[in-house]
Amino acid sequence: MGQPEQPLDKRPLRAVIASAESDRRRWAAELHDQTLQALAGLRVMLSSAQRSGDLASLSEALELIGTEIDNVRALITELWPTLLDELGVVPAVEALLEHTRATHGIPIAATLELSQRGPEGRFDPEFEILLYRVIEEAVNNAIRHAEPSTVQVEVRQTELGVTATVRDDGGGFDESAPTSGVGLAALRAHVTLAGGTLQISSSASGTKVEAKLPIRPV
């Protein structure tokens, strides 16, 4: 009779995930406090020079700097969605989807039905970032690889937890291919670690990603 299977020690994987999210937060803060502030200061200086010299090159430089500021803001949000800290997961997801619509021109229908819990009307922080990352990765994966005409996002809460579903009508992908859905495969590990499940089904008519996440007390 073989030895009983030892339970999986999830602590190392949890530490890796916590470290990765901590790095995201740190880089977001550094970009905001240093890079973004420096660019904004340079824009003020060039604006003053433009008023005195009125040179076409200065006008072009101002335009480029404005573009870079927008790019840095977008990078900050990608690294760590500040709305998640300030207002919670629903406003953060809404902002993510609105930015995605504007950037890619793809209609995204969203139904976000969550009953906020906790003393401040919030969920557990680890749950909030995981739910956000599930939606972010599924939507980005659809846009990058499936070329959909529409995307649907649905988040519903029950007594057992929260179900997040992302559907698209794109071309789908071969789930058996080694390089297919690499980001989703990593996401599955995160969801499993949190005690949830992630189901992916894909065909020529579209892809469906469904995550079921337990809610822990705040």
Nearest one of 212, 76, 161, 100 to 84, comparing CA atoms: 76
pLDDT of residue 163: 96
179, 112 Cβ separation under 8 angstroms:
no
Backbone angles phi, psi at 105, to 5 degrees: 70, 25
Question: Worst-scoring range by mean pLDDT, 78-87, 131-140, 173-182, 193-202?
Answer: 173-182
DSSP state at residue 139 = H
pLDDT of residue 30: 75
205: Cβ contacts below 8 Å, ≥ 6 apart? 169, 172
Q: Write the burial class of residue 19 (CB in 10 Å: 0-12 exposed, 13-18 middle, 19+ buried).
A: exposed
Predicted confidence (pLDDT) per residue in 66-112, tens digit: 888 887 887 777 778 888 988 889 999 999 999 999 989 999 999 99
pTM, full prediction: 0.74
Sorted by where each begins, the domain ranges of the chain are: 11-79, 86-213
Instruction: Give the max Cα distance, the chain.
Output: 88
Q: Which CATH superfamily is domain 86-213 in?
A: Histidine kinase-like ATPase, C-terminal domain (3.30.565.10)
* pLDDT surpassing 50 at residue 31: yes
Backbone angles phi, psi at 81, to 5 degrees: -70, 105
